[in-house]
Amino acid sequence: MESVVLVIHLILALAIIGLVLLQRSEGGGLGIGGGSGGLGGLASARGTANALTKMTGLCAAGFFVTSLTLAVLATSNSKSSSGILDDIDPAAIEAPIKTLQEEPLAPTAPIE
């Protein structure tokens, strides 16, 4: 299940990249309909830009949904521990700490 959602997610990401690169900054999507000649009313600049904008919006919505789905799947598949402290060995925590009184200090030579 997670692999299928991941593949759809990657396809949507590539589609968004392609759709954004196809759009022109002036609003004439695909560069069609810029002059008096051309395709006439078949693919006007406004119609092409609206179609590309709608397709980009749909792909972005799908990308958002697959992102949330992947996050939920990753959370449900992860180990159900409450934190990183659960992995610590309890014996290591309860080990006695030696103090200076328990170990005699080594004699030191006088400093000249």
Please, what sign has the CA dihedral across residues 74, 78, 80, 81?
negative
* In a domain? residue 92: no
* In a domain? residue 97: no
Query: What domain count does the chain have?
Result: 1
* In a domain? residue 20: yes
pTM above 0.85, yes or no: no
* In a domain? residue 108: no
* In a domain? residue 55: yes
* In a domain? residue 9: yes
Digitized pLDDT (tens) for each residue of the chain, 112 residues in all:
889 999 999 999 999 999 999 887 765 555 554 554 444 555 666 677 788 889 999 999 999 999 999 999 988 877 665 667 777 777 666 656 666 555 556 667 777 6
Look up the domain containing 49 and give its range. Answer: 1-24+38-78
* In a domain? residue 48: yes
* Cβ burial 53-72 (10 Å sphere, 16+ → b, else e): eebbeebeebbeebeebeee
* In a domain? residue 31: no
